[in-house]
Amino acid sequence: MSSELFPDRLAKRLGALSIVSRSGRLGHHKGTHRSRKTGSSLDFSDFREYHPGDDLRHIDWNVYARTDKPFIKQFLDEQEMRIHILLDSTKSMGMDGKWDYARQLAIALGHIGLKSGDTTSFSTWSNEQDYFYRRKGSVHRASITKFISSIDTPSSTDSFTDRALRHIPKVVTVLFIITDGLEETAKWEHLFRRLPGICGDIRLLTVHSKPEETPEYEGDVRFIDSESGAGVEVTVTRRAVQDYLANKSAHEAQMTALAGKFGIHLIRAAVADGVMETVTKKMRHAGWLR
Amino acid sequence: MRLDSIVNLWTAIFPLVVLLYYFFRKKYEVTTISSTLFWQQSMRETKVSPYLKNLQRNALFYLQMAALLLLVFILLGPFLPKEQAVGGHTILIVDTSASMLAGKEQLTLFARQQAAMKELVVGRSGEPITIVTTGKEPAIVVREQTDGEAVLAAIDKLAVSYEHEHMERALEFARSIASVGGADIHIYTDSLDRAAFAEEDSNIAWTIHGSGDALVNVAINKFGAVKTPQGTEAIVKITNASDIDQTGDVQLMDPITGKVLVDDKFTVEAGKDALLSFKELPVSQALQAEIIVDDDYRPDNTAAILLDSEVSEAVVDGQLHELVKRAFEAVGLAVTTGSANELLSAQDSSIVVTNDVSLLKKGDKPVIIIGRNDKSPEPVSGVLKSSADPLFTIADISDVYVSALYPPFTSYTTIATVGDQPFIQQSKRGDIVVLADIELTDWPLHPSFPLFVWSAAEQLRSDTDTLGLFVPNERKAVLASGRADGLEVFTLNDEYVTTFVDGSSFIAPTRPGIYKARDGDTEKLFAVQLEQSEKELVIGSSYSIGQTAGGTGAEEGKNRIGWLLLVPLLLLLLIEWEVQRRRGYPN
């Protein structure tokens, strides 16, 4: 199962990617990410004049010899990040291969996080139970793959935006949200408004399937909403499809605008693109990974 | 509204084909998608209500269907018959004569007309309806009744009265009812000539519902019998009014004993008469003839007669005053003036009125004597008194003035006196003797005179055992004893028919046949016979005449309305075109 959903060759291709964050809020533990604060890493950062009280061990004696003034040699600090991946598990995610794709994305992000030695957590839920996973260290890469792969089908019937907040841990450096975004923008706005209080660096991945982007229905179709079960009867004509696409792009534009307003990064991820393409190209372009 | 060319109904195939096409049309494909968020939005502008949605979705179908059905309907040639009742008053004239009983396969014309009437009434519920039955005295069954149920109940109760319809009286009657405000008059009969409507009635629309069918009828046209020394001799005339020769049985029977006297076969050629005579039949009071033949009209297949036929003639002595003759004419007798010899020979079959007292000794039938030719009158004065004889039950003679009287017959019973002198006497044989000339009294000036004459004639007649022949429903006064239990009428099988308080209100029963009238102890027979005109069936067509609203009087107008529908049809096609243009071809 796990090998099928996320084969090893994909894991290998993730290579040396690591998550970039400009957020100041790093974890308290030692990690692999350089902090803007000075610290005890081997990388040189800067010189500054000595002030009484500074640690004498940090005085650069060579400089003192040349200039007769005591200077303190500063080094960069290296700290860990706390990465959280929140997966939308409402029923609409189960359509058209979106679920597999979304899980692959979650696993890929989890691998990257774990490999960098960051505390990586993952959460989602179904109607019956909540799923939560938190590990640190690259040895746990296999277990996160297994954990995420075991969630077979998305079955939550609640609105994603209503429950999302409850499933985000308290201290998070980088928050990845993987969703299909098929909810009213007013609800998203409600969620977005509260997210920056929890985390400074939020990254929203909206998953789109091919039938959603280019509907290929014909004739008279009765569409059933996968979540509410409500039916809509549509005579599919070119005009109807045009209207649909116009509505969809308007919705997406609104989402992007909203995200921008609240400082949230947003990437459109299409199922057809494939995981690797999304991770290695789109995320890197967006500066999410390096 | 009616349809002219119902044949074009075959074109209904076309809308049916379209209907089938839509039955097999592709249904909505059900597809589950992630979210209908965006589709919903695209549908919202057209989603109004489930009904309108359905209409919208199938607009093309409905339009096509409507257009095709309309087309079929136009091809059927719809028209509105030009008849409407102004003021809404409908008068139904129902022919209740015997000929309405004709009809094929048990369903008589009367029953058919009843059904037709009901149909009409149901269609005009709430409008005033008057029902008039025909006869010598047209009668109103319901008058301006607006309650449809009551009218229907009244129609159900209608029955044939066997009496001749006397349609012209019913028409006059209906005209008088409809004289104010006008009316739509429907006549339910077998046949009525258009000549009856020669004079134009404004505001009256006549609709005549005729029989329409040609019917086979074999009738006993005439049936007579006479007593001869050799026994009774009878003649039956059978008429065949059909196009084919008819054979059947003829039966003569004595209805009193129920014994069949003759049973014979007969054959009548198409459209001809046959005369059958029977001789040396046993002596009987009444005879009934019946033909057993397969025809469509039964009431005229039997006939009954009484052998003691009624006395309906009076012979008045020429020497008597003219007023006497007038009085006998006034009570409905055929009066002739005769000499002494003629009086004698007529005594057996007529009422003889004379002043010749010798007739009291001759013959064996009683006579009426007014005055005496053998004596001369003596002046008299005093109050006139009459006894309780049946002769005076309706004629009160107490204020008659008598100036002189002839001497009385000593052996006779006195039934009226002036002072203490006998005025009117009666012999044992039944002779009635008035002991004064008419000139000696002022009696003719009193209304009691013709009443007395009638009573006297009836009394002479009542010596026979019969009341005579009647036509159905005939109103004729008969002399009754005036007892409290009145005059009771029974059939020959002793079934009670009716009772009359006195003889003057006697009305014959409707059904033809022989009846018994019981008046106290005496029992008399009488026969009810169909009128001659009711033995012939006439085929009549249905037609309408006149208009209620002062129109031109066109018959059975047709108001074609098909062309009116062409405009909506064209409109429908245009709408269809527009729907097609906007929505495109369905798949």
Domain, as residue range, for A36: 30-79
A218 to chain B, closest Cα gap in Å: 8
Residue of B nearest to A228 (CA): B35
Q: Are A226 and B28 inside 8 Å of each other by CB?
A: no
A251, pLDDT greater than 90: yes
Q: Which residues of chain B lie closer than 8 angstroms to A223, CB-CB? A: 31-33, 36, 39
Task: Give the pair of three-digit tokens for residue B325.
Answer: 């003759």
Distances (CA, A) of B421 to B305, B379, B380, B405, B425: 45, 11, 8, 8, 11
Q: Are A221 and B57 inside 8 Å of each other by CB?
A: no
Q: Does B230 touch chain A (CB under 8 A)?
A: no
At B318-344, the pLDDT tens digits run 888 888 888 888 887 888 887 777 777
A242 within a domain of the structure (yes/no): yes
Burial of residue A32 (number of CB atoms within 10 Å: 0-12, 13-18, 19+): middle
B570 to chain A, closest Cα gap in Å: 28
Q: Does B34 touch chain A (CB under 8 A)?
A: yes
The pLDDT value given to residue B551? 40
A290 within a domain of the structure (yes/no): no
Give the single-character DSSP code of A24.
S
Q: Read off the pLDDT band of A162 (50, 70, 90).
A: confident
Distances (CA, A) of B430 to B1, B148, B336, B426, B459: 72, 59, 22, 6, 8
Q: Which residues of chain B lie closer than 8 angstroms to A184, CB-CB? A: 37
Q: Which residues of chain B lie closer than 8 angstroms to A234, CB-CB? A: 39, 42-43
The pLDDT value given to residue B44? 45
Q: Does B36 touch chain A (CB under 8 A)?
A: yes
Q: Are residues A175 and A57 in the same domain?
A: no
- C-alpha span between B36 and A97 (Å, rounded): 18
Q: Are residues A73 and A137 in the same domain?
A: no
Q: Are residues A159 and A252 in the same domain?
A: yes
Q: Are residues A155 and A209 in the same domain?
A: yes
- C-alpha span between A86 and A179 (Å, rounded): 9
**Option in B26, B29, B39 nearest A232 (CB):** B39
B22 to chain A, closest Cα gap in Å: 14
Considering A11-20, B192-201, B302-311, B475-484, the range whose residues carry the highest mean pLDDT is A11-20
- C-alpha span between B163 and B148 (Å, rounded): 28
Q: Are A234 and B35 inside 8 Å of each other by CB?
A: no
- C-alpha span between A21 and A14 (Å, rounded): 18
Helix (H, G, I), strand (E, B) or coil at B287: strand
Instruction: Report, as an integer, the average pLDDT of A222-241.
Output: 83
Q: Are A223 and B38 inside 8 Å of each other by CB?
A: no
Q: Do A77 and A113 contact (CB within 8 A), yes or no? A: no
Q: Are A222 and B43 inside 8 Å of each other by CB?
A: no
Nearest to B80 by CA among B572, B571, B546, B564: B564
At B359-368, the pLDDT tens digits run 788 777 788 8
Q: Are residues A19 and A47 in the same domain?
A: no
Q: Read off the pLDDT band of B394 (50, 70, 90).
A: confident
Q: How far is CA B136 from the centre of its chain?
A: 8
At position A147, the amino acid (one-letter code) is: F
- C-alpha span between A155 and A94 (Å, rounded): 8
Q: Do A173 and A199 contact (CB within 8 A), yes or no? A: yes
- C-alpha span between A205 and A287 (Å, rounded): 14
A110 within a domain of the structure (yes/no): yes
**Option in B31, B38, B584 nearest A244 (CB):** B38
Q: Are B29 and A222 inside 8 Å of each other by CB?
A: yes
Instruction: Report, as an integer, the average pLDDT of B409-413.
Output: 86
Q: How far is CA B269 from the centre of its chain?
A: 30
**Option in A220, A226, A230 nearest B34 (CB):** A226
A161 within a domain of the structure (yes/no): yes
Task: Give the pair of three-digit tokens for residue A286.
Answer: 């967006």
Distances (CA, A) of A57 to A70, A76, B282: 11, 16, 173
At A164-187, the pLDDT tens digits run 888 888 888 889 999 988 888 999
Q: Are A209 and B31 inside 8 Å of each other by CB?
A: no
Percent of chain B surpassing pLDDT 90: 0
A69 within a domain of the structure (yes/no): yes
Q: Are residues A248 and A131 in the same domain?
A: yes
Angle value at C-alpha B128, between B125 and B129, nearest 5 degrees: 85
B539, pLDDT greater than 80: no
Q: Does B341 touch chain A (CB under 8 A)?
A: no
Q: Are residues A52 and A140 in the same domain?
A: no
A259 to chain B, closest Cα gap in Å: 20
Neighbours of B284 (CB within 10 A): 21
Q: Are B33 and A223 inside 8 Å of each other by CB?
A: yes
At residue B524, what are phi and psi to the nearest 5 degrees?
-125, 150
Choosing among A88, A159, A208, A225, which should be mutated to test the B contact, i.e. which has the most B CBs within 10 A?
A: A225
Q: Are B39 and A183 inside 8 Å of each other by CB?
A: no
Q: Are A233 and B28 inside 8 Å of each other by CB?
A: yes
Q: Do B297 and B530 contact (CB within 8 A), yes or no? A: no
**Option in A228, A234, A251 nearest B39 (CB):** A234
**Option in A209, A220, A240 nearest B28 (CB):** A220
B256, pLDDT greater than 90: no
Burial of residue B22 (number of CB atoms within 10 Å: 0-12, 13-18, 19+): middle
Q: Read off the pLDDT band of A208 (50, 70, 90).
A: very high
Q: How many helices (H) and strands (E) does chain A have?
A: 11, 11
Q: Are residues A86 and A67 in the same domain?
A: no
B209 to chain A, closest Cα gap in Å: 59
The pLDDT value given to residue A76? 65
At position A231, the amino acid (one-letter code) is: G
At residue B473, what are phi and psi to the nearest 5 degrees?
65, 15
A133 to chain B, closest Cα gap in Å: 27
- Residue that is last in its domain, among A50, A79, A108: A79
What interface predicted TM-score (ipTM) does this complex get?
A: 0.72
Q: Are B36 and A225 inside 8 Å of each other by CB?
A: yes
Instruction: Report, as an integer, the average pLDDT of B300-322.
Output: 78
Please say whether the dihedral angle defined by the alpha carbons of residues A248, A250, A256 and A259, taken in this order, is positive or negative: negative
A157 to chain B, closest Cα gap in Å: 12
Considering A10-19, A201-210, B91-100, B131-140, the range whose residues carry the highest mean pLDDT is A201-210
User: Long-range pairs for A133-140 at CB < 8 Å and ≥24 separation?
Assistant: A134/A169, A136/A29, A136/A80, A138/A114, A140/A114
- Residue that is last in its domain, among A63, A79, A95: A79
Q: What's the CATH number where A230 sits?
A: 3.40.50.410
Count the residues in chain B: 587
A262, pLDDT greater than 70: yes
Residue of A nearest to B586 (CA): A219
pTM assigned to the model: 0.45
Burial of residue B174 (number of CB atoms within 10 Å: 0-12, 13-18, 19+): buried
Q: How many domains does chain A have?
A: 2
Q: Read off the pLDDT band of A27 (50, 70, 90).
A: low
B490, pLDDT greater than 90: no
Q: Does B40 touch chain A (CB under 8 A)?
A: yes
Q: Read off the pLDDT band of B463 (50, 70, 90).
A: low
Strand ordering across the sheet containing B302-306: B259-268, B246-254, B286-292, B302-306
Q: Are residues A42 and A117 in the same domain?
A: no
Burial of residue B107 (number of CB atoms within 10 Å: 0-12, 13-18, 19+): exposed
- C-alpha span between A10 and A14 (Å, rounded): 7
At position B347, the amino acid (one-letter code) is: Q
**Option in B28, B31, B35 nearest A227 (CB):** B35
Q: Does B560 touch chain A (CB under 8 A)?
A: no
Q: Do B78 and B561 contact (CB within 8 A), yes or no? A: yes
Q: Are residues A36 and A99 in the same domain?
A: no
At B475-484, the pLDDT tens digits run 877 766 666 6
Choosing among B29, B39, B56, which should be mutated to test the A contact, i.e. which has the most A CBs within 10 A?
A: B39
Neighbours of B162 (CB within 10 A): 26
Q: Are residues A49 and A170 in the same domain?
A: no
Element (H, E) at B134: none
Nearest to B513 by CA among B284, B297, B290: B290
- C-alpha span between A31 and B275 (Å, rounded): 144
Task: Give the pair of three-digit tokens for residue B160.
Answer: 């044939």
The pLDDT value given to residue B587? 41
A191 within a domain of the structure (yes/no): yes
Nearest-Å Rg of the Cα atoms of chain A is 23
Q: Are A220 and B32 inside 8 Å of each other by CB?
A: no
Choosing among A90, A188, A212, A234, which should be mutated to test the B contact, i.e. which has the most B CBs within 10 A?
A: A234
A12, pLDDT greater than 80: yes
Element (H, E) at B39: helix B37-44
Beta-bridge mates of residue A176: A85, A203
- Residue that is last in its domain, among A45, A79, A113: A79
A35, pLDDT greater than 70: no
B178, pLDDT greater than 50: yes
Instruction: State the count of interchain CB pairs (< 8 A) between A and B.
Output: 93
Helix (H, G, I), strand (E, B) or coil at B214: coil
Instruction: Report, as an integer, the average pLDDT of B565-572.
Output: 86
B16 to chain A, closest Cα gap in Å: 24
Please say whether the dihedral angle defined by the alpha carbons of residues A23, A27, A32 and A37, taken in this order, is positive or negative: positive
Q: Are residues A215 and A156 in the same domain?
A: yes
